[in-house]
Structure 1
Amino acid sequence: MRDVCWRCRRPRPVCYCALLPSLPTRTRVVLLQHPRERRVGIGTARMTHLSLPNSELHEGVVFEEDARIVALASDPTTAVLFPGGDADPAGGPPVRSLIVVDGTWWQARKMLALNPRLAAVRRIGVTPRAPGNYRIRREPRPECLATVEAVASALAALEEEPARFDAMLRAFEFMVDRQIAYQATNDAPRRRRRAQAASPLSPLRPYLAAPARVVLVDGGANSGWPAAAGAAEPRSELVHLVACRPSGEGFEAFLRPRRPLGPSVAHQLEVPERRLLDGEEAGAALARFRAFVGDDSVLGAWGSFTADLLAQEGLGRPPSLDLRDLCARHLRRRPGGVASGARALLAGEPAPRGSGRAGRTLGWLEVVLARLLDLAGEEEVAARGAA
């Protein structure tokens, strides 16, 4: 058994306690740590907590019944530190309590999805003064920061003392440098990995480091009229299209029908008929969609229906991920609809990401992708550990 420091919980040779400052703050920092993150030796939530006397560290996933968190969430002076919030953390009402969700990008998003009270709290973001230094851990985007870096940046802005909170980063830099040095000098022979069949989730591995490349998409069609004998025109046409990226960017378009609107289309798509009839010209809507998707993205959908509609509209066949197929392969059974597939994966509850049935489906796709990426990431970590 290795000798471990009781305070930082790191092995004595890499204990960073001597580098930890004790920084009083007006802002109460409340860290909510995902249980899996607690087992990550190179995590930084505890480092953050030890540096800030006016801080709390709670472990869990769901805090809806936690009296302390419920009270904080109902206080207008509380904010959640999460990407996609205000550009300036110091803007808006004064922040007396800052809630920080600690976990991987997908764990943090799932925690917010499972905690509606937290999700409703004002969010603030930080603009990094320099790229993140978390060189020993994969981040979804270059601008993403370790928890200690994000908190230091947020407090620097909230308390208007940029230089004071740089002291929080000394222990972090020490930990990163020691880990890199250890990896460079570790010449222990690698264990031979047993040959294994490819994982059903291996198609997701290219997107673990860049999940924002995946554009989730769902569409609705104008159908319901029988095709005339010998007619060349398709039986269905795209009239509603929604899409989003895991980073939160969204897209929605109603395409004006080129043929008479089917008698039950608006009811089936759960949108007002007038919105369909007053939609934008199809070419303009599809041009906007092409610009949203860009050149380096892959489409993620449930089955092939939406991809077929897009191909029918002249968009060709861009690279795609069939999340229904990936879900079926992982579960080793048919998942049914997207909602039942999400529940079988133990994914979180979704928030609608657009209008009608397509917007609801897109919300389910978002939590399915988050869960599948989590599982693929765990597989990759386990595989590296066995190497």
Structure 2
Amino acid sequence: MSRVLCQKCQRPEKACICAFLANINNHISVVILQHPSEVTQSKGTVSLLQHSLANCEVIVGETFTDSTVLTQQFKKYAEKIVLLYPSEQAIMLDFSAPNSTKNVNLSELSDNKLSDIECIIILDGTWKKAYRMFMLNPCLHDIKHIVLPQGITSLYQIRKTKKDNALSSLEACCHALACLENEPEKYQKLLNNFVKFNQFHQSFSQRNV
């Protein structure tokens, strides 16, 4: 007998995560490039993020050269689209001042200031898979990159990584949007709900031991 799925989050009813959703009208759009292996990952955070943000697009794949959706996003946002990824040339966001960066002269960015960003691309996958996705898609090399500062404590308790200062896709996205939009309070509810999301999965796992 097939399991009954929630019509919104598409998870089995007993594992429905809709109670943890937040209703957020993000001004900066989000495009999530999700590795195929993450689609069925019950502990993944993209579903919670996607259904909480008003402006969020998820594209599943590993290479996106032929992705019409991503191509349209590049055309739509042009120089105002960035990739959240710790590349060597990534600009570090500075949470101590709104819409600012560390060690960067914004005037050198000409008309492409970070305050003008209208879309953020997120890579969703393990660090190894995210790196592979980055390397396989040269189109991601030709846009500006941003990175979060170190020292942000992760709330992600149900999935472990050996990578230092690692954050879930949801956390990284929320922190970046909060900084760039200068509205941290807007994303705090989703981060609070994320704690409950973790607790739910932990209790759910315990019930099934």
TM-score (norm 2): 0.81
Distance in 1 between the 2:205 and 2:62 partners? 32
Contact 2:151–2:165 (Cα < 8 Å) also in 1: no
Aligned residue for 1:168?
Answer: 190
Aligned residue for 1:120?
Answer: 142
RMSD: 2.0
Question: In structure 2, do the counterparts of structure 1 residues 67 and 2 end up closer, same or farther at CA, with 3 Å as the change threshold?
Answer: closer
Distance in 1 between the 2:161 and 2:208 partners? 24
Contact 1:20–1:170 (Cα < 8 Å) also in 2: no
* 3-state secondary structure, aligned to 1:83: coil
Report the CA distance between 1:3 and its aligned residue: 2.7
Report the CA distance between 1:68 and its aligned residue: 3.4
Match of 1:156 among 172, 178, 196: 178
* 3-state secondary structure, aligned to 2:59: strand
Q: Any idea what the Cα deviations from partners look like across 1:326-370, whole Å, max 9, x if unmatched?
A: xxxxxxxxxxxxxxxxxxxxxxxxxxxxxxxxxxxxxxxxxxxxx
Structure 2: runs of 5+ lacking an equivalent: 107-112
Query: 5 Å matches for 1:274-313?
Result: none
Question: In structure 2, do the counterparts of structure 1 residues 71 and 9 end up closer, same or farther at CA, with 3 Å as the change threshold?
Answer: closer
Report the CA distance between 1:149 and its aligned residue: 0.5
Structure 1: runs of 5+ lacking an equivalent: 188-387
Aligned residues: 187
Report the CA distance between 1:19 and its aligned residue: 2.7
Q: Which structure has the larger Rg?
A: 1
The higher relative CO (CA closer than 8 Å, separation ≥ 6) is in 2
| 2:89 maps to 1:81 | no
Distance in 2 between the 1:19 and 1:81 partners? 24
* 3-state secondary structure, aligned to 1:87: strand
Aligned residue for 1:30?
Answer: 31
Identical pairs, percent: 29
Contact 1:28–1:98 (Cα < 8 Å) also in 2: yes
Distance in 2 between the 1:73 and 1:24 partners? 21
Distance in 2 between the 1:56 and 1:165 partners? 18
Report the CA distance between 1:128 and its aligned residue: 6.0
* 3-state secondary structure, aligned to 2:86: strand
Report the CA distance between 1:108 and its aligned residue: 0.9
TM-score (norm 1): 0.45
Distance in 2 between the 1:38 and 1:119 partners? 25
Distance in 2 between the 1:178 and 1:129 partners? 26
